[in-house]
Chain A
Amino acid sequence: MSYLDLTITDMHEALVAKKVTPLELAKEALERAKANNDNAFEGYMDEQALSIAASLKEPEVNNPFWGIPFVIKDNFATRNFPTTGSSNILKDYVPCFDATAVAKLLQAHAVPIAKSTLDELAMGGSGITGHKGPTFNPYDSKHERMIGGSSCGSAVSVAASIVPFALGSDTGDSVRKPAGYAGLVGMKPTWGRISRYGLFPFAPSLDHVGYFTRSVEDAALSLAVIAGRDLEDSTSSTRPVEDYTRLLKTDLKGIRVAVIKEIMDTITNPTVLKAFDQSIVALREAGAVVDNVHFDKRLLGTIYPTYITISCSEVTSNNANLDGIKFGPRFEGNTYQEVMFNARTAGFSELIKRRFVIGSFALMRENQDVLFLRAQKCRRKIVDTLNDILKTYDAVYLPSAPTIAPKFKDSHDQLSDEYLIADNHLAFGNFAGLPSLTLPIGFEKGMPLGANVMGRAFEEAKVFQIAQAIENKTGYRNLSAKEVRV
């Protein structure tokens, strides 16, 4: 076993004990990244990685990120390094500043290894729409299964033990869904907890910076590094950053967990249900009260259309800057409209253009009332319902998906209850901006299954506490696709 296979905490110990150096880790991470064949990367950061790693000589005992290699989703701006959003329209774009989350990791002397692939401009949940084609699930050597998106490359990076930490972004479930398909801990904290400065906007009212780790403890440690007020993002919270690990060793006495019955009713896969039930036993054993609660099924059915309407509306405006004049490849035309039209036609994939059209349509004067504003009302209702549950419960706990990672050929658009509700419910955590964490709870056919803990706003420490109790019971810590193969 290599030191690179360790979690952040264990790797940190090895670094402090000087059993391994940041440079050795960085070199091996780069090798593994390049050897990986899951189509997970947009660019390898050899130059930065090696020069930063080489400069790290004396271990910093109290800094768990010192010398830790990490991967960055390619929709975070990286200074002097191309950032494509996995879209042709930004193919050669080189930002002149670092996203705040990236800057904070660099300040902590973590070592950037690569920029990872995503669904084009973070739109999509499959990991197949990036400009370089589909990203594969490393747990499936036959490359038949998706890893989910949009943070597909970041999920691969951590699941394949290329790095113990990767930045992602989560607008609907783009960190938490792939985390479930890849046996990872995927975390998005409260909206405003981590600055979004430098994250390419998809739908700002729903966008969150998130990340992948291979243990709950790593996830708790990481948040303190990248959270905090940022003057460049006025929506970032002024609350002080906490020690998010402080409750990890505390049992769950007095903790109340809610399971939404109407969502469970749409899940039919027995392995998923069994693993989930076992994790509930674990929660109860740790002292938590776990109850079934109700959530109007019709309202649950609106989550997906509400998400699509709001996110598409916001995204059409957010990407209006990519017009082939300021950004993107130049396509000539007789008028500025033609230049923009040609650039945007060639630069965006069909899927993206479809979303722009949906968003534009929803925002049109004559449609706003029945589409965009109605979606806002739905969002408000869903959030109110969720927050009502959280008045009496510390967390909502649910499977992160109704199945293991689907095969590419099985992917479909049918609006079944399972698809509408079980497959897309995580977005209500984005509507409400609540802290939400996915962690592994089982396997089927060698493919991981995940569950999700969602807590009250700014109660991240409690979310980690609950997740830790589950991890303690399952023992699913530091899972790696390198060892588990079908």
Chain B
Amino acid sequence: MNFEPVIGLEIHVEMKTKSKMFSRAPVTFGAAPNTSVLPLDMAFPGTMPVVNKQAVINTIRVCDALHMSIDRELWFDRKNYFYSDLPKGYQITQAKRPIGSDGYLDIEVDGRTKRIEIERLHMEEDTCMQHHLSDGTLLDYNRAGIPLIEIVSRPNISSGTEAMKYVEKIRSIVQYSDVSDGKMEEGSLRCDVNISLRPYGVSKLGTKCEIKNLNSIANVEKAIEFEIARQEKLLLSGIPVEQETRRYDEMHKETVLMRKKTDAVDYKYFTEPNITPIVLSEDFIQHALETCPELADSKKARYMQTYGLSDYDANTLLLDKDVSAYFDEAMKHSPLAKLLANWISVDIAGYLNKENKTIVDFPIEPKRLAELITMIDKGDISNKQARSVFEAMLTSKDAPRVLAEKLGMTQISDTSAILKVIHEVVDANPQSVVDFKAGKDRAVGFLIGQIMKKTGGKVNPGLTSKLLIEELNKR
């Protein structure tokens, strides 16, 4: 390729706080339109914004995870514009003094680490949801005022894959810190891409295009790759790239023009006079960080170093925050990390795939799975039996031990009980003793078969075999 892509990302993260950024209206998803709305959200004259403390705590956590410096004073500004997506006629944001500045995020691409620099991170309020119909536009103000975090990277991303990894990692951070659902499909994580090309070795930036409305992480990569190719083709044909806002058309797998950019709008920013600067004490920041749920990177280190899981196993568990939460919960009841990890990533994952469910809807509680694993480990049941118990657990709240008993498959691990059967069987088959002494290993197999037959297969095979050999040696 002749050109170097220069890519910057603006990510909006919708927080899942109890109430809105500046209003006491509840944050709801999927509620009837315009029901999560208070006078403030509709800009009734005389209503005033009050900063949501939890939103600040959340933002501090994300700032920290992105290695940003955190401003010790909170300042908010008004961004003025006439449009019905915000009834006040302005949006309260942090233009002049973002809470976070100068951070970075390391991502892994093809086995090497790349540091993506982050310019700024700020809090603001979401706009209302607009449903454009052929004969008008419907406005749902439930979303208006929901706390947002905006994360602006520096333009040092060079490929669709890097962008994708960067978004993935940000999603992981906001999900693990409980800040957001982080679902691009549902709009709780939104990503705008700025992209331009320049010949390698040239320092002047080319004309950039903005891609909006990307609804999945995979599409971030695809849209960027398409856009790089599009701009490259233009440049190679001697056609200048025009400054445009484009969107990604999933069906045709291409970016399409939304509008040409004219002169940038003047938002006439000024400091929000109804919020006096809020001082963030070191204690407050410290507390926000200490109480932050564990992030994926830290969990991974724990899984590998403390639990001895492989890189692969750890990554598999951490791919989904809820899966790792399930694993963590199960670990409280059974320390058998490797076995748990296997069962989660094979048996449970298989079930969820088949049923098209997520782990949140998985019927077996982590505690119950841990019990099952413990039974396997103790040799109470075999792996094969465990799978049948697992099947039963999917439809029953009973403990695995109860279910195993109901299925009549509890193994006999009681040494004296096993010895009693061994004595009976060995006594009844003197020829086998002779064969054993003569070095015929088949005899052991035969005797075990007899023992299994007598006990209905309930004895612990490993233990039985050990005891049987001891007994034969004695004779």
Contact = CB atoms under 8 A, between A and B. Distances in A.
B42 A235 contact: no
Q: 8 closest Cβ contacts across the A-B interface?
A: A320-B89, A205-B273, A363-B268, A321-B43, A204-B273, A198-B46, A200-B45, A234-B50
B273 A314 contact: yes
Interface residues of A, number: 45
Nearest to B22: A234
Contacts of B80: 316-317, 320, 363
A323 B270 contact: no
Given A235-B275, A336-B84, A97 B268 contact: no
Contacts of B90: 317, 320
B89 A321 contact: yes
B20 to A, nearest CB: 14
- Dominant secondary structure at the B interface: loop
Interface in A363-416: 363-365, 368, 372
A325 B276 contact: no
B270 A326 contact: no
Contacts, number: 99
Contacts of B82: 320, 323, 337, 340
B49 interface: yes
Contacts of A322: 45
A313 B273 CA distance: 11
Interface in A192-238: 196-201, 203-205, 231-235
B280 to A, nearest CB: 15
Contact of B46 (A201, A203, A235, A316): A201
Given A96-B39, A231-B50, 9 more contacts: A83-B45, A93-B45, A198-B46, A234-B50, A234-B275, A320-B90, A327-B43, A364-B266, A365-B268
B50 A326 contact: no
Interface string B18-45: 0000000000000000000001001111
Contacts of B49: 234
Interface of A: 76-77, 83, 85, 90, 93, 95-97, 99, 196-201, 203-205, 231-235, 313-314, 316-317, 319-323, 325-327, 336-337, 340, 360, 363-365, 368, 372
A316 B88 CA distance: 11
A321 to B, nearest CB: 4
Interface of B: 39, 42-51, 78, 80, 82-84, 87-90, 266, 268-270, 273-276
A321 B88 contact: yes
Contacts of B275: 234-235
B48 A196 contact: yes
A90 B45 contact: yes
A319 B46 CA distance: 11
A365 B82 CA distance: 17
Nearest to A98: B46
Nearest to A90: B45
A457 to B, nearest CB: 13
Given A317-B90, A364-B268, A201 B84 contact: no
A371 to B, nearest CB: 11
Contact of B44 (A85, A95, A203, A368): A95
Contact of B78 (A96, A317, A360): A317
B270 A233 contact: no
Contacts of A77: 44-46
Contacts of B269: 363
Given A320-B88, A323-B89, A97 B270 contact: no
A70 B90 CA distance: 35
A321 B78 CA distance: 13
Contact of A365 (B43, B88, B266): B266
Contacts of B48: 196-197, 204, 232-235
Nearest to B45: A200
A359 B114 CA distance: 47
A164 to B, nearest CB: 25
A464 B276 CA distance: 28
Contact of A85 (B42, B45, B270, B276): B45
A95 B46 contact: yes
